[in-house]
Amino acid sequence: MFQREQFRLSRLPSALRTRAGLVAAGLGVSMACGAGAALAATGGDGGADAGPARGATAVTASAASGAIAEQAAAQAGAAADAKKAEAERAAAEAKRAEAEAKKRAAKAKADQARAKAKADRIRKAHGWTGPVDRYTLSATFGRGGSMWAHQHSGQDFAVPTGTPVKAAHSGTVVKAGPNGAGDGPAYGNAIVIRHGDGTYSQYAHLSQVKVWVGQHVKADQRIAYSGNTGNSSGPHLHFEIRTTPNYGSAVNPLTFLRHMGVTV
């Protein structure tokens, strides 16, 4: 191409050849400069996009490093929050356990105080106590009516079925079992205890009997659970004080217990 340009220039007038030569020279310089710029843009080694690729890689690595750091910080924060929450739960549980322990201790102390007070009352009452702890007095001794063949032979203590029944005084079990323990089916399950002063106590309409004939029992010892067996219109304890172990020898139980110092 350069030779063709020279041939053409040789056929032009002198002035025109000079101007054309200058233009051709300029084009050559421009082409050279363009090539140099292109070479510089490629990093000087002919790789078409080597420079921009290295820059993009550096930016990407920096962004990834920042993201990892942020994630690590978030995980550390979450772990710290979880540890704090666990510590708070443990503290709350310990506080609840402490409160519950104090509550149990207070209840045990109150129970001991009540037991001691009752033991004192029993001692002051010549060893006698009431046959149940919480009750409502219902049918009284000597009461008449169709429920009884003659008159009511004891005192009824209205209590729910399953209420613990206690021995009113220490003694020996002489009767225990169904059919009134031998005194007749009207009594249901029953117990009779002989006491050292020659008196007898009887407990009837029981749901369960927990003693046996010949067993020695102490005052306030559980001997049975109340019920609704036999000739009964509702759950209660029928209680008698007798001068013999058998039906027909009963005395007013409330008068007897009060004489012994028992509050009923």
Tell which residue, 222, 198, 223, has the closest CA to residue 213: 223
Domain range 136-259, CATH architecture: Distorted Sandwich (2.70)
- Is 236 known to be catalytic? yes
Distance CA 264, CA 137 (A): 9
Reading the chain (264 residues) residue by residue, the pLDDT tens digits are: 545 555 454 554 444 444 444 334 444 434 433 444 443 444 444 444 445 556 666 667 777 788 888 888 888 889 999 999 999 999 999 999 999 999 999 999 998 898 888 877 787 678 999 999 999 999 899 865 555 456 789 999 999 999 999 999 999 999 999 999 999 999 999 999 999 999 999 999 999 999 999 999 999 999 999 999 999 989 999 999 999 999 989 999 999 999 999 999
Domain-wise residue ranges, the chain? 136-259
Choosing from 205, 236, 238, 259, which is the catalytic residue?
Answer: 236
Is 153 in contact with 247 (CB distance < 8 Å)?
Answer: yes
Residue 213 CB coordination number (10 Å): 13
The DSSP H or E segment spanning 241 is strand 236-242
